[in-house]
Amino acid sequence: MPVDIELGGVYLPPLAQALLLALPIFLLLDWSLRRLGVLRLVWHEALFEGALYACICAGLILLMGALH
């Protein structure tokens, strides 16, 4: 079971840890998809980016569960 991490007196539950860790991964992946021109092929860009962030978060949560 993943554990809470304490940062400056604030305890972060595993879900918040995954959300924070997913942000730089998402930004890097979004930047690379824009540079490659993949996002021009997407029908609704904001919907695609939201789904991409959700998939990254879900993957990190599954990975955190498997490691503990």
Q: Which helix (H) or strand (E) holds 24?
A: helix 14-36
Q: How confident is the model at residue 4 (pLDDT cuts 50, 70, 90)?
A: confident
Q: Is 49 domain-assigned?
A: yes
- Quote the domain boundaries for residue 23: 12-67
Q: Is 56 domain-assigned?
A: yes
The answer to whether residues 67 and 60 touch, using CB atoms and an 8 Å cutoff, is no
Give pLDDT tens digits for 11-20: 888 888 899 9
C-alpha 33/C-alpha 53 separation (Å) is 13
Q: Is 6 domain-assigned?
A: no
Q: What is the pLDDT of residue 6?
A: 81
Overall average pLDDT of the 23-32 stretch: 96
What is the signed CA dihedral for 16, 17, 19, 23, rounded to 10 degrees? 140
Q: Is 7 domain-assigned?
A: no
The pTM assigned to this predicted structure is: 0.84
The token pair that represents 10 in the structure block: 């604030």
Q: Is 63 domain-assigned?
A: yes
In total, how many domains does the chain have?
Answer: 1
Q: Is 1 domain-assigned?
A: no
Q: Is 34 domain-assigned?
A: yes
C-alpha 15/C-alpha 53 separation (Å) is 14
